[in-house]
Amino acid sequence: MQKFDVLIVGAGMVGLTLALALRKTSQLKIAMVDTQAVTQLDDNIDVRVSAINVASKNIFSNLGVWPAIESNRAQDYQHMHVWDKAGLGKLDFSAQHSDIFPTEDNLGWIIENKVIRHALWQQAERDEGIHFFTDNKLASISHGDSEVFATFEQTENSPMTTPIISKLVVGADGANSWVRKQMNMEMIFKDYDHHAIVGTVECPQGHKNTAWQVFLPSGPLAFLPLQSAANNNSAVDLCSIVYSTAPDDAARLLALEPVEFAKELTAASDGKLGDIKLISERFSYPLTMRLAQDFVKQRVVLIGDAAHTIHPLAGQGVNLGLLDAAALAQTLTAKLDEHDENYTDFVNATDLKAFSRWRKTEATEMIAAMAGIKQAFEPQQSPIKLLRGLGMNLINNFTPVKNKLIAQALGIKADLPELAYQKDNL
């Protein structure tokens, strides 16, 4: 039997961030279970990317992993350009035009998921208090009054893994969370009736360090700026696309030849990035809103996509998850410095309920905001489209409202976990 303070199921970006955050301010002993090996970095750009905002960058900086992330194809952007294909409305955001965060020149960064996970994993491997279990999946979890007991599946080709006892189990194992299902934690579901198509494209006119998003009658299409691979001799800028559209339309687009697909992207973007060229495979996945009715059940906590998933049109999903990790670490370690190093009763039901309310409130607000934006850009009659365009243009020229929207994009809001602030403010 192996004993740990916290068992984290899922060593993705969110789970690894939690492990490092717990170790930053405590001596808690952490077990991490994940059979998906970390992807080694090479010159091939992954189509799976995340838009990292300033709050998340602060978390990575305070955990000491930002230099490793930034040095591996992290593309900063200072501008956002949003426009309505069916109307006249547009919005332009710039970090330099905001007083929200005067010490930050960027609105955010577009980074491959494998780059982030690799940096976090490498940092965690160097920490003697974090132990990885990568040979076998978990078979069961059961809990008593003060501990949780976890067993592993055993196969002929894998070594025997001794069961684990821990004070707390954290499900950071994604949208189809095994932990959530084991604990019968109820979820609210809503099908967005959209599939997202992702891929990598060349943009001959350059991305101009700008995140581009056009609202089409079929759904939003985003061009997220990427840093070219080290072995790419071309001077042409690259972008990651996220194209959300109805399932039938997504199937049609996936069936197109690459050249024809690229022509549709060029037309959809009004040629603002030049004649687009597809340089990767295309992948599609259905979009579903998920929200756990409670993020905590007994000695089990859900964070990240295990607790909530939202529409990707604002690129905030992973940022929500990283804040979950920072908030849970803060909740669990807040009282440890009041006791000696042998203090183990850090799992407090009242504190965990407060954590659940804290994070569920923000997730609910974000889900509502995404639903409102999506509905606002559904196909409408001409008078509605005109009003929508006028509203966008009014916001574009009204600084107080724009600053609030920029603050949302930066991730700057009330009640952030301490790790999400700049290091000088800690």
What pLDDT, on the 0 to 100 scale, is given for residue 222?
95
pLDDT exceeds cutoff 60 at 234: no
What is the model's pTM? 0.91
Summarised one tens digit per residue, pLDDT across range 182-192 is 999 999 989 98
pLDDT exceeds cutoff 70 at 176: yes
pLDDT exceeds cutoff 80 at 255: yes
Integer Cα distance of 338 and 78 in angstroms: 42
Confidence class for position 231, pLDDT limits 50, 70, 90? very low
pLDDT exceeds cutoff 70 at 387: no
What pLDDT, on the 0 to 100 scale, is given for residue 381?
46
Summarised one tens digit per residue, pLDDT across range 57-109 is 999 999 999 999 999 889 999 998 989 887 777 888 887 655 555 567 899 99
Confidence class for position 407, pLDDT limits 50, 70, 90? low
Please tell me the number of Cα atoms within 13 Å of 288 on its side-chain side. Answer: 16
pLDDT exceeds cutoff 60 at 388: no
pLDDT exceeds cutoff 70 at 339: no
Confidence class for position 160, pLDDT limits 50, 70, 90? confident
What pLDDT, on the 0 to 100 scale, is given for residue 97?
53
What pLDDT, on the 0 to 100 scale, is given for residue 424?
52
Query: Domains in the chain and their CATH numbers?
Result: 2-75+110-188+288-381+416-425 (3.50.50.60)
pLDDT exceeds cutoff 60 at 130: yes
Question: What is the chain's mean pLDDT, rounded?
Answer: 87
Q: Which residue would you say has higher pLDDT here, 323 or 157?
A: 323
Burial 208-220 (b: 16+ CB within 10 A, else e): eebbbbbbbebbb
